[in-house]
Structure 1
Amino acid sequence: MTVHFPFQNSYSALPDSFFARVAPTPVAAPRLIKLNRPLAVQLGLDPDLLETPEGAEILAGKTVPDGADPIAMAYAGHQFGQFVPQLGDGRAILLGEVIDRDGVRRDIQLKGSGPTPFSRRGDGRAALGPVLREYIVSEAMYALGIPTTRSLAAVVTGEHVIRETALPGAVLTRVASSHIRVGTFQFFAVRRDTDAIRRLADHVIARHYPELSGTERPYHALLAGVVARQAELVARWLLVGFIHGVMNTDNSSISGETIDYGPCAFMDAYNPAQVFSSIDEMGRYAYANQPRIALWNLTRLAECLLPLFGEEQDKAVEQAQEILGAFPETFSKAYQAGLRKKVGLFTERDGDEALIQDLLDAMAKNQADFTLTFRRLGDAAGDPAADDARAEFMDPAAFDEWARRWRERLAAEPQSAAERQTAMNAVNPIFIPRNHRVEAVIQAAVNNDDYAPFEELVKVLARPYEDQPDYAAYADPPLPDQRVLQTFCGT
């Protein structure tokens, strides 16, 4: 049998200015190293056929499947605050779209599939390390319950790419609700192409916000919808200690999914100013800055949509500012609600925010591990004798003082201790993609062609909220000599 993709290509039916038609560049000897079988089934694909040599050739870009309409999407973007009028898919090619089993339209894209007209003198290829990192982290984010792009497959190409040294080449098959970004709107706004902006906005509404079709002011409602989704998205990833790394406007998805996992990382010790990305020299995208940056990016989207708001510029600006003004409250509501759940508070009372902030302040001062502190609070909530959480603090007395007030507050909650612990464990993961674990996996694969550590890590991270005694070591923070201080983009 032949591998079949039931493509329906709506984006490539838009005007030619939206993309460049370009086929993937064939590779020498593709070899499948990982297929996400459950995701393949969800997409209506046959995982057994995808695991054949024919499937590997498609997933590496060596063969273009029937029905595909390969394109590289055009977009612009603010990169670390500096506007670049033309970026686009420089090493990614969208094969097409499929309708999954839930009726959701999903892009299937190859990353590392060769040069495009947007490659900016790059080779269009990807090294194995960044492909494995994106596979691991994107699937971990999915398991954590955070809207995200997904990874369908990773393939080695049988060729090398040249970065600082020669590295194994690889291709990632990425799945997304779409790859439309704030930067996609900016591409047309800087060219003053209002017709294209309207066409793009209509496409986005039909694809991602169909409930807005036919409303009196659909473009205002579109901005409001994107603002709400982005506010909730950033709140959710802050609650698990995630740092995006490159929150540029070209990495800000209109659908409300986390996209692009280059130099991303999860915090070990809690530090609001934490930065890992080697290219974020000024800390623009530090952990605590991410809500502010999300609003900044959304303001750039609002600027693009202004021509669709009406001919009166001042009135359009006022309306956009009002919509953007909803971001802080939407974010704060989602973030504070998530924090209350993390500490076992399922009702609201005056003083809750201050109590939780006191914990965060003590964690920062005492270099407490973000993930384990909250997870072990669940144990302490279930058993007053459990004191593992205090061991995360350099000065355990700082935890004791806070825990006394916390227990007084818990006494006013209606749940039993067992119910509270279960509820807390459902929102406080024990397993995250620890940076040192991800790096160890990459080194084993790159240096020794050994994918067993990768397979095991992916397996553990698929159940982040469950105790897995056989893999308990994966919950441990790094030893001093294992700490990863910087992460890299990989392009």
Structure 2
Amino acid sequence: MFLHHRFYELGSAFYSVERIKPLNEQRLVEINLPLAQFLSVDFKDQQTLDTLNGEISVPKSLSMVYAGHQFGGFSPQLGDGRGILLGELEGQDGCFYDLHIKGVGFTPFSRMGDGRAVLRSSIREYLVSEYMNALGVPSSRALALYDSNQAVYRERPEPGAMLARVAKTHIRFGHFEYFFYTKKTEELDALIQYSLNQYFPTCLKEENPILAMFKDIVLRTADMIAHWQAIGFQHGVMNTDNFSILGETIDYGPYGFMEEYDPSWVCNHSDHEGRYAFGRQPSVGLWNLNCLARSFSHHLTKEQLVEALTLYETQLEERFSSIMSNKMGVSKEALTDSLMSEWLSIIKKERLDYTTAFRLLSHVSKETPSVLLDEVIDREAAREFLERYWEKREDRRDQAAVSDLMLKTNPKFVLRNYLAHQVIESAEQGNYLPFRKLLNVLSSPFSEHEESHDLAMPSPEWGKQLEVSCSS
């Protein structure tokens, strides 16, 4: 395993050099073999194993420093309080990927924390990152999972764990905020140039590379939020320190996937005011971009920043419309707000599961309306919707091909909290078979997996009452 250390070259103002503090009797319990092969990580090599678990120290491994707006308030210094960037790996595509270890122990940025991760949150992140990747949503990825017999104290003593994960970058909006608000002009300039060179090289060819980069960040963020809204995903903690400049979903904590359709739904039990409710995510994305824009205010004019920010709404709507047209099997030209609103209204009124409802629609044909009608109480309203739906759907495309595309767009399986809860309980007892069974279907969620049909069922009532918080 050959590690590159490009971020390290920026200098000590950007990080603290740290090393992994191994857990007691930690065990490697899961490996993402396809990802490992893509990154040329050989888990049969003892040196690789000892590097990942902290037995061998990496001289240039580091914890990043950054700031961030958290629930609307600015925190001038945050940072990797429980994570270490070991270095970067070159993938088979020729691109570089950060290798980041979560749960490494105390760092200078841990504040009042212990720098550890619990098995519960590590399993949740492993599952969701691989699920998001399978859905085609830009996301960090899980590479390996470690458990241990070391107790970590949250609301209760829990097994400590470490998660090896990769992303195209871990540079966040908060990195720029940190150097802007601390008036470290040279460091901010260096960070901007580094980002241009490493992540936005095509922008260097533009007349104003920094403006081009900021516009790209705006567009990538809009694409990410559009994906979230289309699949019913709620991040839970949309702080600026949790937003990647490359529009990848990172830092999974109290996330959730919508079951009963409700724009006001809040998955994070700690979000008492509903700041990051599902329906507010698009506006929060723009709010975060406005925070980032301030950090570029010495490099771009107000007019240039406004010009870039105005791209957000158009891009989000365009991307969302494109995804939803595929989900509904209707061309973008035929997909109207009224048709989508009527469908979402039926889902909400009938209390249908969001993911299951779109999967049902994928199976509906003119000859088999009962696929949907048998699942609703108000059959007449659903029948009227289907009549209007078929008027919009009938075009020159082969309808069997349309249904096939819908089945490849609308997953059969979704990561429900109760499913995660069940596999976590088993894993805490040393049984990882339920985890692997769930991971298998989430890694290919559009396939039928008849042997695992039970994992596609809507949550039982007790499962709908489960709560997640920032400690999750």
CA distance in 2, matches of 1:141, 1:320: 31
Partner of 1:58: 51
Q: Deviations over 1:320-366 (max 9, x none)?
A: 011101100000001011111111112513x6222112211222222
Q: Which residue of 2 aligns with 1:398?
A: 381
- Written as runs of structure 1 = structure 2, the 5 A alignment for 1:91-170 is 91-170=82-161
Could you tell me which residue of structure 2 aligns to residue 434 of structure 1?
A: 416
Q: Tell me the equivalent position of 1:414.
A: 396
Q: 1:239 — aligned with what?
A: 230
Q: Which residue of 2 aligns with 1:358?
A: 342
- Report the counterpart of residue 44 of structure 2 in structure 1: 48
How far off is 1:214 after superposition?
A: 3.5
Query: Structure 1 residue 58: deviation in Å?
Result: 3.1
Letter in 1 for 2:105: G
Alignment partner of 2:6 out of 3, 10, 13:
10
C-alpha contact (below 8 Å) 1:194/1:307 kept by paired residues:
no
Compute the displacement of 1:84 (Å): 0.3
Q: Does 1:34 align with 2:8?
A: no
The structural deviation recorded for 1:211 is: 0.5
**Corresponding residue for residue 326 of structure 1:** 311
Query: Which residue in the other structure is 1:457 paired with?
Result: 438
- Once the 2 structures are TM-superposed, how far is the Cα of residue 490 of structure 1 from its aligned partner? 2.4
Give the partner amino acid of 1:434: R
Paired with 2:462 and 2:19, the residues of 1 have a C-alpha distance of 44
Q: Which runs of 5+ in 1 are unaligned?
A: 310-315
1:25 paired to 2:16:
no
Aligned length: 472
Report Cα offsets for 1:166-186 as digits up to 9, x if no partner: 111000001010100001111
Any stretches of 5+ residues in structure 2 without a counterpart? none
Write the mapping of 1:162-181 to structure 2, written as runs, cut at 5 A.
Answer: 162-181=153-172
Who is 1:312 aligned against? Answer: none
Identify the match of residue 346 of structure 1 among 331, 343, 354.
Answer: 331
Distance 1:171 1:109 in 2: 10
- Aligned partners of 2:93, 2:106: CA distance in 1, in Å? 33
Equivalent position of 2:218 in the other structure? 227
2:363 aligned counterpart, secondary structure: helix
Question: Is 2:207 the partner of 1:216?
Answer: yes
Report the Cα distance in structure 2 between the residues aligned to 1:58 and 1:169, rounded to whole angstroms: 19
Mapped to 2, the partners of 1:468 and 1:222 lie a distance apart of 42
Mean alpha-carbon deviation: is it higher for 357-366 or for 402-411?
357-366
| Distance change (3 Å), C-alpha of 1:385 and 1:124 | same
User: In 2 relative to 1, CA 255–441 (structure 1 residues): closer, same or farther, beyond 3 Å?
Assistant: same
Give the TM-score taking structure 1 as reference length. Answer: 0.93
* Code of the aligned partner of 1:158: N
Q: Quick one: structure 1 residues 389 and 204, their matched pair in 2 at CA, closer, same or farther if it must change by over 3 Å?
A: farther
Which of 481-490 and 363-372 deviates more? 481-490
- Asked whether the 8 Å contact 2:23–2:160 carries over to 1, the reply is no
The 3 A distance-change label for structure 1 pair 174 and 394 is: farther
Distance 2:106 2:229 in 1: 35
Q: CA deviation at 1:396?
A: 3.4
SS of the residue aligned with 1:137? Answer: helix
Q: CA deviation at 1:43?
A: 0.7
Q: Which amino acid aligns with 1:360?
A: L
Instruction: Kindly indicate whether residue 94 of structure 2 is the aligned counterpart of residue 83 of structure 1.
Output: no
Deviation at 1:440, TM superposition (A): 0.6
Question: In the alignment, is residue 477 of structure 1 matched against residue 461 of structure 2?
Answer: no
> CA distance change for structure 1 residues 64 and 361 in 2, over 3 Å: closer, same or farther?
same
1:194 corresponds to: 185
How far apart are the structure 1 equivalents of 2:3 and 2:114?
27
Displacement after TM superposition at 1:26 (Å): 2.7
Deviation of 1:245 after TM superposition, in Å, equals: 0.5
Q: What is the deviation of 1:56? A: 4.5
Distance in 2, Cα, partners of 1:135 & 1:418: 35
For residues 42-64 of structure 1, the C-alpha deviation after alignment (integer angstroms, 9 at most, x for no partner) is 11111333xx6x65543332333
1:317 and 2:310 are equivalent in the alignment:
no
SS at match of 2:260: coil
Give the Cα–Cα distance (whole angstroms) in 2 for the partners of residues 96 and 348 of structure 1: 46
Tell me which residue corresponds to 1:313. Answer: none
Cα 1:347–1:120 shift into 2, 3 Å = closer
- Alpha-carbon offset, residue 384 of structure 1: 2.8
The CA deviation string for residues 131-189 of structure 1, in whole angstroms up to 9 with x for no partner, is 00000000110011110000000001331111122111000001010100001111111
